[in-house]
Amino acid sequence: MNNIDRKLEELGIINVNTAFHSLGEKIVIGVDKAQGNIISILEDDDLFLSNKIEKILKMFNNYNIGYYHNSYVHIDTKQRILGYPIKLNKPLLLIQQRDKQKYVDKLIFKYYSIYNNSSISIDKSIIIKNKNHIKNFTYALDIFLFYAGIASDKGIYFDTEVLTKQRIHKLNSKVRDDNFESWLLKMRDRLKISIKEFTLISEFLKEQNISSKFVNFMISDRKICLARLLNECSSKENLGIKDILNYIDFHRKSIRDILQLLLIFAPKKFRLDAAKRWYETEVSL
């Protein structure tokens, strides 16, 4: 037992060591051991503000909600605030299913308000019901939990109060490597996992009769990013006309992004040069 494990035990915290790889699998294990009915996720490099737990209990007790998302701010490794808080202009409570469907894309495209696992609190029953889905997610877990909240028979609440600090650093913000070839392999793997996870979300939404342009766009966008790299794709990762149309529809106001699309038709040398510029941009940030 190391010092961290010992300290957690002293504080009455259950510490579970697991060989599972996906974040979703680890969360399901934690939820199975949790005794309460409200689950708040905290990733190890993020911070809760001191009044967060009190606020969460108040919101779940006052409203029939199953999913709660508070606003958050980015910080660096020295806890200095970066930029502005990620938040809505006013709190949003959606109880009726028709209202949740109405906002399903607006909450993402307009407000960018569903991201960050450490800003999510969710009814334990929603995780238990969807645990076989949740086990498959790492990169898009926060997005799946949002849709699981939409699909539930409980309300969802988006709070304007900043209650989480999300730490931004080299390991969690970009695919980084000192070697271009190694970076290329890692980027391919991340894009393939992203395509797989968004495809799983799409299948889940079809089962729930929920439509989302955002999920369709993300699948198409990740496929196009993958096609821009020098890569062999499986049949599930191959681009189709529908993917290209989804991408153009979303980026129709951005000439730069449309030009990026043309790279998928470029000769190998041009795609290699573009990939190297992408890599240089990543490592310089």
- In DSSP terms, 73 is beta-bridged to 165
pLDDT < 70: residue spans in the chain = 1, 110-112, 170-177, 230-236, 285
The model carries a pTM of 0.89
Residue 220 has what pLDDT?
93
Three-state secondary-structure class, residue 62: helix
- In DSSP terms, 38 is beta-bridged to 123
Token duo for residue 206: 């079809």
Task: Go through 72-98 and write b for each residue having 16 or more CB atoms within 10 A of its CB, e for each that does not.
Answer: bbbbeeeeeeeeeebbbeeebebeeee
Between CA 225 and CA 131, with CA 234 as vertex, the angle to 5 degrees is 85
66 close to 156: Cβ distance less than 8 angstroms: yes
Tens of pLDDT, residues 99-155: 888 888 877 776 667 899 999 999 999 999 999 999 999 999 999 999 999 999 999
Provide DSSP, 18-29.
----SHHHHHHH
